[in-house]
Structure 1
Amino acid sequence: MTAENPDLRIAQAATLQPITEIARRAGIPEAALIPYGTDKAKIDIAAVPPGDGPGRLVLVTAMSPTPAGEGKSTTTVGLADAFRLLGHRTMVALREPSLGPIMGIKGGATGGGHAQVVPMEDINLHFTGDFHAIQIANNTLAALVDNHIQQGNALDIDPRRIQWKRVLDVNDRALREVVIGLGGPGQGVPREDGFDIVVASEVMAILCLATDLADLQRRIGDVVVGLTRSREPVTVRDLQVDGAITMLLKDAIRPNLVQTLGGTPALVHGGPFANIAHGCNSLVATRLATSLAEVTVTEAGFGSDLGAEKFLDIKARTGGLRPDAVVLVATVRALKMHGGVAQGDLAAEDVEAALRGAENLARHAENIRRFGLEPVIALNRFPTDTEAELDAMLGWAREQGLRAALSEVWAEGGSGGVAVAEQVLEVIAAGGGRDFHPLYDPAEGIEASLRTIATEIYGAAEVQYVDAAPAALRRLQRNGWDTLPVCVAKTQYSFSDDASRLGAPRGHTLHVRDLVPKIGAGFVVALTGSIMTMPGLPREPAALRMGVDAQGRAVGLF
């Protein structure tokens, strides 16, 4: 069964400008473009002359979302178009969508309505092949590890202690735990293995944090694939294949240039999830945008407790970035859900529930201020919102001393985001991010970093190390990896590690069940609660409503 979707209809009806014109607007010479048709291109950064930057950097984050999302990408795109309408040379930097949520429940990640990056269906599907390159690079490394063991195992790799998993860009719960190498000696050494989704791969994280091709190869070489029988780490450099894996990514590291419906240049590159990875687009794309544009608008996945915290503590630290302003996306429907309304009843007016749910939004605003930044709340309007609900929430924000404005970019494009943009410009004029600072010092150790994040951002009372975590902590300390930043893998729906605890819980316990070193990426992943690095599909996947028409155009994509 297929279904019509207004976002797709709007995107398909748009007349796109030639990508050469979009590049000219961004200050990118045609000689630096590697075209993929007429409306998208990769960029050879070496051929781009230095800009006047760094320009202003605006980070878009959100409150704790509902399962369908709150329109953060839509707000990001519309806000960029609004800055351009106000006369500022603007670029937007976004992540690439994963096929997992596209075919699952959440849909794509190109925005919506009249605030989209286009060509929407290309970007949401195979785009320029970056995810495929990451998947192939990751799985080639997995094959090389198993082949090394099969061909004599000169490095004495312990098959029981290989931590490198295969990946697939599809939600497939059946692949979380598998056994490989069955069928006799010629088929390899039998061992337990598993799959992660591509966006959880360390290769994805490395691509998004590498500063250039040489740094990419250095980071690939640092990847720890497993341990020897004497418990010593084995790296990709030890296997002597860091060059081969980098070669598979030589094109993928180049940023992708597209455009918004409003004609704003857009860099869409990289795509780690924020609940199981660090949730930010590539550093090379963000740096390129800030070097060329007066204002760059970027986003970090899910709420401030996930994507924004990782942007500010990992990406900004790695890349020397300093946000000048933060936009905090909120919706009436998410506020009502955190105020106790069931998901199926969110369309009914309930001002009191929205006000109760505002405790979640208040916590997110508090989080942003902990980094020395001042949030601007963008109340993203949905068709089911009533004037009473919207007025109540804008009034609540004023009473809390928070800047807030209604965002109507889905319906109106950039003009619907001008009110938010003007608030952001006021923050920038008042000093912006001059007081920005990361939340913790990694040099104090993983335990201290996790305790700070858990207590100050999540409102937890303590951190407990359970299951494999205590032994993993000892390994980190023994190998000198416990002073890396920490990337917490946690449910996006709650400040706790329990997705059902909505609102703004306090005094809970954060349960860390494993600590996985990602040495190439430069951080340690802390797996909490029941979070999975390979999601599953819902009872009724979005794929049931998708198809193609007689002209081969997508139907049902959103």
Structure 2
Amino acid sequence: MEDIEIAQQNTPEPIEKIATKIGLTSDLIEPYSHDKAKLSMAALQQLNQNPAGKLVLVTSINPTPAGEGKSTVTVGLADALQRRGQHPVIALREPSLGPVMGMKGGATGGGYAQVMPMADINLHFTGDMHALTAANNTLAALIDNHLHQGNALNIDPKRIVWKRALDINDRALRETVIGLGKPANGEMRQDGFDITVASEMMAVLCLATDLEDLKKRLGQILIAYTKDRQPVFVRDLKVEGALTVLLKDAIKPNLVQTLEHTPTIIHGGPFANIAHGCNSILATEAAIHAGNYALTEAGFGADLGAEKFLDIVTPHLSKAPDVIVVVATIRALKYNGGQALAELNTENTRALEKGYLNLHRHLQNMQRYGIPVVVSINRFTTDTENELAVLQDLISQEGLTSAVTDVHERGGEGGLDLADFVIEAATEEQSDYTRLYQDDRPVLDKLTTIAQEIYGAKDVELTSKAKQQLRLIEKNGWDAMPICIAKTQYSFSDQPKLLGAPSGFTLTVRDLIPKLGAGFIVALAGNILTMPGLPKHPAAEKIDIDRNGHITGLF
């Protein structure tokens, strides 16, 4: 059965009942239907008064066409912990319409380890993405209106850095020209669109701690430079209050449930290859204090999502992760080892051993942070017992524990071994979290540390444009911020086809963009794009709905 068929066969519990599982009465949630709700700010304040539970970060090897199943394992592990008598709460990101209509898929798990209501979550959900898009484009309209109405701030139209946004992959909007036609249509200038999940508006929402902090961060967003090269911020336009009003409901995390009725908080959806790849501070904190185990997932491979969670997000949380779970599949490791995609169903321990280098580096990287690591081998039906034995032996040689998980086919029952290992690690091993770098180090030093320590690069090279941007960042005193590297998710390097565990390469950074509202510097490496394109045969071709509103083809 397809994921959506499995979801449609399950009946969710009333959302008020799910709220009671985390100690909230019905007056503290804002229902959007019988099966989803917003957590009020009062609910967040009440939850944060509870003791902190254990925090589990779920990450993975680099994604491949063979599949990894990070979100699926996160959901299945939480359901397994619930079966073991624990009180887990999940914190996940919201899906973007870009992948939903494109090729990657949604973000609600899969099989019998998924979150309900699956179709709603993957489509418009509670409107957060639309609110962010509206706020982003309202700011863009206000900037252009300021130019048209006399430009009192002396903004240079050629040095406006704020882009418009849309939450769908649309390559035609990467570069645009606006203001064509008569003078009444505004200043003619070059512009462009980012996908909403890559926008600073998304990052600001995810890193804000309350409404006041949200408004402050919005005011700090850099939007342009004047004709004499001075920075211009949102606060100079005096519109941060209006933007906050547009996001007053979007800042509230969303409460839903798994197929096994485990409470799940879904909020924010930045991509990890072009943004920081983690759900909101508010959602993660709520999960930490709502149960005795909080499970959160960081986007794409550990070199992207997990690194950013640990170096950008964790310093803002009340605690660091107690355990890191790294998800791997035999199919993906064989693909990394050179086996053709069409032949992955065939046993090949030689390719598995070669591809294991990818997992090995991720495991080493996560251990650098001083946090206990457990490996989840996400089982596919084509995996042989011999391959499973080889992989578990390789992992055990590193002194680490691994569990074969089968949550896609068996739900929480298929994750019981993994749950036991996570409980053991969280109880018996001591987390000694240490960041990879300190924010006050020079930008190039921080870039080089990530590239060498996490990616395996030999060096970092800045283009002439990036060097110029770095001088501007240092001149304005914006250099004491963490680094958010935007690069391909398919490789440790900035080159998608360099699989396995490449080393000795040079990471080329072509742009350094200060995101002052978010509080980090984005480093664009390689050919990464902040507005993706749709594939030749987008997933939208398979999605349909009948006269009774029954949706098909959605994963």
TM normalised by structure 2 equals 0.98
Answer with 305-314 or 412-421: which moved more: 412-421
Which residue of 2 is the match for residue 483 of structure 1?
A: 480
Q: Deviations over 1:164-198 (max 9, x none)?
A: 00011111111101111111211111111100001
Q: For the residues of structure 1 that align with 2:476 and 2:374, how far apart are their CA atoms?
A: 42
SS in 1 for 2:16: helix
Given candidates 414, 417, 420, the residue that maps to 1:419 is 417
SS in 1 for 2:282: helix
Q: Does 1:557 align with 2:554?
A: yes
Which residue of 1 is the match for residue 536 of structure 2?
A: 539
Which residue of 2 is the match for residue 9 of structure 1?
A: 5
Q: Does 1:289 align with 2:287?
A: yes
Answer with 509-518 or 460-469: which moved more: 460-469
Contact 2:379/2:406, CA 8 A, preserved across alignment: yes
Tell me by how many angstroms 1:425 deviates.
1.3
Instruction: Kindly report structure 1 stretches of 4+ aligned residues shifted beyond 3 Å.
Output: none
Q: For the residues of structure 2 that align with 1:96 and 1:175, how far apart are their CA atoms?
A: 23
Contact 1:272/1:281, CA 8 A, preserved across alignment: yes
Q: How does 1:184-199 map to 2 (within 5 A)?
A: 184-199=182-197
Q: For the residues of structure 1 that align with 2:383 and 2:122, how far apart are their CA atoms?
A: 28
Q: How does 1:68-467 map to 2 (within 5 A)?
A: 69-433=67-431, 435-467=432-464
Which residue of 1 is the match for residue 516 of structure 2?
A: 519
Tell me by how many angstroms 1:550 deviates.
3.3
Answer with 330-339 or 422-431: which moved more: 422-431
Contact 1:205/1:277, CA 8 A, preserved across alignment: yes
Contact 2:67/2:329, CA 8 A, preserved across alignment: no
Q: For the residues of structure 2 that align with 1:10 and 1:145, how far apart are their CA atoms?
A: 47
SS in 1 for 2:440: helix
Q: For the residues of structure 2 that align with 1:168 and 1:485, how far apart are their CA atoms?
A: 26
Q: Deviations over 1:182-227 (max 9, x none)?
A: 1121111111110000100101000000000000000000000011
Contact 2:256/2:266, CA 8 A, preserved across alignment: yes
SS in 1 for 2:518: coil
Tell me by how many angstroms 1:411 deviates.
0.7
Tell me by how many angstroms 1:384 deviates.
2.5
Tell me by how many angstroms 1:490 deviates.
0.7
CA RMSD in angstroms comes to 1.1
Contact 1:93/1:298, CA 8 A, preserved across alignment: yes
Answer with 38-47 or 276-285: which moved more: 38-47
Contact 2:285/2:318, CA 8 A, preserved across alignment: no
Contact 1:325/1:432, CA 8 A, preserved across alignment: no
Q: 1:310 to 1:345 in 2, by over 3 A?
A: same
Tell me by how many angstroms 1:379 deviates.
0.4
Q: Which segments of 5 or more consecutive residues in structure 1 lack a partner in the other structure?
A: none
Q: Does 1:43 align with 2:39?
A: yes
Answer with 343-352 or 245-254: which moved more: 343-352
Tell me by how many angstroms 1:467 deviates.
4.5
Q: Which segments of 5 or more consecutive residues in structure 2 lack a partner in the other structure?
A: none
Answer with 111-120 or 345-354: which moved more: 345-354
Q: For the residues of structure 2 that align with 1:408 and 1:95, how far apart are their CA atoms?
A: 23
Contact 1:67/1:106, CA 8 A, preserved across alignment: no
- Percent same amino acid at aligned positions? 56
Q: Does 1:22 align with 2:32?
A: no
Tell me by how many angstroms 1:342 deviates.
2.4
Tell me by how many angstroms 1:542 deviates.
1.0
Tell me by how many angstroms 1:29 deviates.
1.5
Which residue of 2 is the match for residue 55 of structure 1?
A: 53
**What code does the residue aligned with 1:31 have?**
D
Q: For the residues of structure 2 that align with 1:389 and 1:103, how far apart are their CA atoms?
A: 35
Q: Does 1:34 align with 2:30?
A: yes
Q: 1:431 to 1:396 in 2, by over 3 A?
A: closer
Tell me by how many angstroms 1:53 deviates.
1.9
Which residue of 2 is the match for residue 510 of structure 1?
A: 507
Contact 1:445/1:484, CA 8 A, preserved across alignment: no
SS in 2 for 1:444: coil
Contact 1:61/1:302, CA 8 A, preserved across alignment: yes
Contact 2:494/2:525, CA 8 A, preserved across alignment: yes
Answer with 456-465 or 183-192: which moved more: 183-192
Q: For the residues of structure 1 that align with 2:336 and 2:40, how far apart are their CA atoms?
A: 45
Contact 1:467/1:514, CA 8 A, preserved across alignment: no
Instruction: Count residues with an aligned counterpart.
Output: 553
Q: 1:414 to 1:275 in 2, by over 3 A?
A: same
Tell me by how many angstroms 1:322 deviates.
0.7
Answer with 389-398 or 271-280: which moved more: 389-398
Q: Deviations over 1:312-338 (max 9, x none)?
A: 000001234310000000001110111
Q: 1:11 to 1:217 in 2, by over 3 A?
A: same
Tell me by how many angstroms 1:52 deviates.
2.8
Q: For the residues of structure 2 that align with 1:43 and 1:432, how far apart are their CA atoms?
A: 32
TM normalised by structure 1 equals 0.98
Q: For the residues of structure 1 that align with 2:168 and 2:341, how far apart are their CA atoms?
A: 25
Q: Deviations over 1:117-171 (max 9, x none)?
A: 1000000000000000000000000000000001000000111011100011111
